[in-house]
Structure 1
Amino acid sequence: MSPLVMIIYVVFAVAALVTMWRIVAGPSILDRAVASDVLLTEVMCVLGAEMAINQHTRTLPVLLIIAAVGVFGSISIARFVARRDAPSA
């Protein structure tokens, strides 16, 4: 494995650790939701980098599923927070 690939993986690992810290220590549910979206994006970037480095497309369906989970998860959290913050009549 080349040094450039190792540097890329180390950068992604550090970013994932910082994101995990935000998920654990986030003061609000919205902070945690944004951090989980960032973590999903980082996972997608790692998979994409691995596909580019090894020159294959076998993990493309996994990327699509992760993207769908991220979108639907964000929508669900936004609806939950909007319903919780709505004034009651």
Structure 2
Amino acid sequence: MTVVAGVAAVLLSVAALLTLFRVLTGPSTLDRVVGMDSLTAMAAAGLAVYAAWSKETSVVPAIVALALVGFLGSAAVSRFRVRDDR
């Protein structure tokens, strides 16, 4: 299980670095929003890997909270972005 958790951590770290690069250099606001939503999902996945590795269930509410914040943030930005385009 330790090897699987290590591989998952490395893959999530590489994906987070690539996504952070996209957020910093994104040509539009929507690219940055999608990147931040992806970073939030990766943080939740990292917490899930930690919960599986340590067999600790106290981080599950944090995973749910991160998923909710990511969804609400993306929905709010897309709603206001559509309003600005009109």
Which protein has greater RCO, CA pairs closer than 8 Å, 6+ apart?
A: 2
CA RMSD, Structure 1 to Structure 2 (Å) = 1.3
The alignment status of 1:85 with 2:60, answered yes or no, reads no
Q: Offset of 1:3 from its aligned partner? A: 3.5
- 3-state secondary structure, aligned to 1:58: coil
TM-score, structure 1 as length reference: 0.89
Gaps of 5+ in 2: none
The count of corresponding residues between Structure 1 and Structure 2 is 86
Is residue 18 of structure 2 the alignment partner of residue 14 of structure 1?
Answer: no
Higher share in helix? 2
Provide the TM-score with structure 2 as the length reference. Answer: 0.92
Q: Which residue in the other structure is 1:29 paired with? A: 29
Percent of aligned positions with the same letter in both sequences?
35
Unaligned 5+ segments in structure 1 are: none
Task: Work out which of the two has the higher radius of gyration on C-alpha atoms and give 1 or 2.
Answer: 1
| Ranges of 4+ aligned residues in structure 1 off by more than 4 Å | none
